[in-house]
Amino acid sequence: MSRRSGILEFAVLGLLREAPMHGYELRKRLNTSLGIFRAFSYGTLYPCLKTLVANGWLIEEPGSAPEDALATTLSGRRAKIVYRLTAEGKEHFEELLSHTGPDSWEDEHFAARFAFFGQTEREVRMRVLEGRRSRLEERLEKMRASLARTRERLDDYTLELQRHGMESVEREVRWLNELIESERAGRDRRSGPETPEDPARQDDRTSGNTGGLPRHGGSTRPDPSDDTTK
């Protein structure tokens, strides 16, 4: 299995854990919710679905909406197939969620993992975030060393492109630092004594548990798919 196929299977299982869907709904969710899949086609999705069905992680069911049945009768076309996660598929997805190896730190895989952090245990989230930060810090060090060696040989535009790439990585490292500190703060809040006057606890009760995710007016998350340093 290729790395990209593995990421797609992970994302499909995660989305179907939320609710059964047919292929068009899945493709739409993958495009809109997980931008890393914005360029993939039905020709990529359906073989993936067939593989997951063959493995016993999904089952196929006919569309149950009355309008689907009527449309099938009038047009002679097959009803849409709905894909549902099996108990084995749920167990497999939860196993995948627990993985924290180097693959989970790479650009595309990290984006998919982050999209399902709401279903991921706190300690696993921390290991993935710290691994991603370590990977980017290594990348940043190499970029700085390369720029120092070649600066005099680069024209202004190439030099500016190199700087832009470094700034993108630096921005994501800062974002990861914020997330890691927020995760730690959230863990510390939950491990300490709870009192009626504890504002951190009150915030969790009124706005939901985000696992320590920073609350900004808008998303500050950089899109790993826009990283010019891949």
The answer for residues whose C-beta is within 8 angstroms of residue 101's C-beta and 6 or more apart is none
Torsion, CA 173, CA 176, CA 181, CA 186, rounded to 10? 180
Provide the CA 142 distance to its chain's centre, in angstroms: 26
Tokens of 95: 């196993």
Residue pair 227/107 in contact (Cβ under 8 Å)? The answer is: yes
What would the pLDDT profile of 11-70 be if each residue is shown by its tens digit?
Answer: 999 999 999 999 889 988 888 777 666 666 667 888 999 999 999 999 999 876 544 544
* Mean pLDDT of the residues in the chain: 79
Residue pair 13/45 in contact (Cβ under 8 Å)? The answer is: no
Query: Can you tell me the distance from the alpha carbon of 175 to that of 209, in angstroms, rounded to the nearest whole number?
Result: 20
Share of the chain above pLDDT 90, in %: 49
Residue 224 in this model has a pLDDT that exceeds 80:
no
Which residue in 170, 146, 140 sits closest to 158, CA to CA?
A: 146
Query: Can you tell me the distance from the alpha carbon of 215 to that of 97, in angstroms, rounded to the nearest whole number?
Result: 24
- What's the order of all strands across the beta sheet hosting 81-85? 21-22, 81-85, 58-62
Confidence of residue 157 (pLDDT cuts 50, 70, 90): very high
Q: What is the pLDDT of residue 77?
A: 55
Confidence of residue 164 (pLDDT cuts 50, 70, 90): very high
Give the mean model confidence (pLDDT) for residues 197-204: 44
